[in-house]
Amino acid sequence: MSSCCTPDGSCNTDKATETSTATVVADGHTTVYKVNGVGSAHCQSVVAKAIGGLDNVISVDVEIGTGLVTITTGGAPDDDLIAKTIGEAGYEYAGRA
């Protein structure tokens, strides 16, 4: 869990915002993952920025509270790389949703 969140999963920020980008690609694959510990806008931003920086990632949408992360990639997603990136960002990868 990231340092912005308390042990009970609540977070220290108080403003929720949507973080997403979209691009139309003929070969895009959309996959939904579950990430534990996304309880604030700050957490949402950290996860979106980490995943969005990966090659082949076209768009990322991170839901606060549910931890559902929808990723569109220009080809098949690399689940192992996504899991590693989420872990390095300080969050717990819980697999595909």
Q: Is the pLDDT of residue 75 over 60?
A: yes
Instruction: Report the alpha-carbon distance of residue 77 to residue 57 in Å, rounded.
Output: 8
* Residue 89 Ramachandran class (φ > 0 left, ψ -120 to 50 alpha, else beta): alpha
Q: What is the mean pLDDT of residues 1-21?
A: 54
Going by pLDDT thresholds of 50, 70 and 90, the confidence category of residue 91 is very high
* pLDDT for res 27: 78
Q: What is the mean pLDDT of residues 55-84?
A: 97
Q: Is the pLDDT of residue 68 over 50?
A: yes
Going by pLDDT thresholds of 50, 70 and 90, the confidence category of residue 67 is very high
* pLDDT for res 14: 45
Higher pLDDT, 14 or 19: 19
Instruction: Report the alpha-carbon distance of residue 35 to residue 97 in Å, rounded.
Output: 9
